[in-house]
Amino acid sequence: MGILAGKVAIITGSASGIGRETAIRMAAAGAHVVGGDLNRPGGEETAAMCSDAGTPGAFARTDVTSEADIAALVTLAVDRFSRVDILINNAGVAGASGPIELTAIEDWDRTQHILLRSVFLGIKHVVPHMKKQKSGSIINVSSLAGHRGYKRIHAYSAAKAGVVNLTRSAAIELGKHFIRVNCICPGDILTPMHGNHMSQEELESQLAGRQPIGRAGRPGDIAGAALYLASDDAEWVTGVSLNVDGGALTGVWTYQQNDFYSRHSKQPFMGPSSEPQAQSS
């Protein structure tokens, strides 16, 4: 029996990267995973991988900025598996990029909707079901940018800071219902979020030297943290912002980090991959 046996998890941005790895890990730990993403082929492939890992799940094409789509994703989980125990608000994009005075309002708003509004919507629609159960674990994926600013990605930094504080306020409100709300702040992880401006080998080499632990982060690093926060081992943990960053926030690499985004954030709006409509992190 896995540590999540019998539980039902909803994961947004399930088609690739952190979302995919987390979905597979949770399925292997016994959870039924219901994934949502705009990238239907990737999401369906993840669902098949979850079944191969040991636990049948489901997938629905989901625009996380749409309240109707989020509500439908939660309904799918409850109709199919009778409950929802875990929500992982993971979908994301790098979003609006460039000098603040040149940032288009449409790009700013779209970034906020994907990164912050979606987290609010996910919490809003799972809470009634978790209250009935008197239990639940909500895990929001923020970023190191939620704790400090980065030039050229102002909308992303603002939204991720919002995710950190929304996590705290929701944890205060929902604790009496035994619903835990935490967030994970990844460092630089090898995912489609970085786009395709360089080869995988070059990207991994650059990221390896940007924190005290000298390797690039991997989706499995974040999946492992999510597995813990979702499990009953963390039943007295709420309101936490967990940095999974190889030590990046120790402060030894601030200049390098900001310089990296200045050199590689050249587009006005950056999607997570060559599939601009995908929402996977």
Q: Domain holding 174: CATH number?
A: 3.40.50.720
Whether residue 17 lies inside any domain: the answer is yes
CA distance 46 to 134: 30
Active site includes 228? Answer: no
pLDDT score, position 46: 98
Q: Are strands 269-270 and 95-96 parallel, antiparallel or unpaired?
A: antiparallel
Q: In angstroms, rounded to a whole number, what is the distance separating the alpha carbons of residues 88 and 120?
A: 12
Tell whether 21 is covered by a domain.
yes
Is 255 inside any structural domain?
yes
pLDDT at 204: 84
Residue range(s) defining the domain that contains residue 178: 8-270
List the chain pLDDT tens, one digit each, 281 residues.
Answer: 799 999 999 999 999 999 999 999 999 999 999 999 999 999 999 999 999 998 999 999 999 999 999 999 999 999 999 999 999 999 999 989 999 999 999 999 999 999 999 999 999 999 999 999 999 999 999 999 999 888 889 999 999 999 999 999 999 999 999 999 999 999 988 876 655 566 778 888 888 888 889 899 999 999 999 999 999 999 999 999 999 999 998 875 544 555 555 555 566 766 754 344 556 66
Tell whether 181 is covered by a domain: yes
Residue 256 located in a structural domain = yes
**Residue 1, in any domain of the structure:** no
Total domains in the chain come to 1
- CA–CA–CA angle 228, 229, 233 (5° rounding): 60
Provide CB contacts within 8 A for 216, sequence distance 6+.
188, 189, 190, 203, 204, 207, 208
CA angle at 15 for the pair 53 and 157, rounded to the nearest 5°: 125
- Report the alpha-carbon distance of residue 172 to residue 275 in Å, rounded: 37
What is the per-residue pLDDT for 206? 81
Q: Is residue 187 part of a domain?
A: yes
pLDDT score for 150: 84
Catalytic residue among 150, 156, 255, 261: 156
Q: 0.85 exceeded by the pTM?
A: yes
User: Does residue 276 lie in a domain region?
Assistant: no
